[in-house]
Amino acid sequence: MNETFLVVGLGNPGNEYKMTPHNAGFMSVEKLAKKHHCRFRNCKFQGVLAKYEREGVKVFILKPHTYMNNSGVSVAALMKYYRIPVSRLVVIYDDKDIELGKLRIRDKGHSLPSHNGLKSVIEALGTNQFARVRFGIGAPPKEQVRLMDYVTSKIPFPELETYDATAEEAADAADMIIFEGMEAAQQRFSSKS
């Protein structure tokens, strides 16, 4: 078996976005890279890339540095260069419609998402038929009306532990999708939600 997969974490580059809810995807793929003892390096696909091999399968891990709304530019360029089919793509991203600390795993999209990063990936690839790990960040507090302010502000200290644990689970879920299949990952992780 000589397959190549791509796991993408969506987020924004730069210190001002570090440890914000919108960077849950970045946090998750950082956990995945750490788990497999690989490091992110700059790449020609407008992002940073890590890779590991397991059981004859090569896995690329990408953090696009195009900013959230243009994530698809980086993802599509890498997939085209390495000829990775959409059936071997896993995208991890934050989802305000899911309770904080919960994951939802889907094998493909149903409707056009409200998440701009995911929207960009779908537009760049021309399809929504790829696996995704939805990382629950919860809805903004009632008094905080602007969603953009909520997702780009620092994670409150009491929630940091939950984000850390959920990022670990999201990394494990991506691994499981690749090596054990979508159904196994859905049973193990989506059932907790």
d(C-alpha 82, C-alpha 6), whole Å:
10
Cβ–Cβ < 8 Å for 8, 144: no
22 catalytic? Reply is: yes
Paired strand residues for 5:
59
Catalytic residue among 22, 36, 37, 110: 22
Q: CB-based contacts of 152: which residues, under 8 Å, 6+ apart? A: 12, 16, 17, 20, 21, 22
- CA 140 – CA 28 distance, rounded (Å): 21
Which residues are the active-site residues?
A: 22
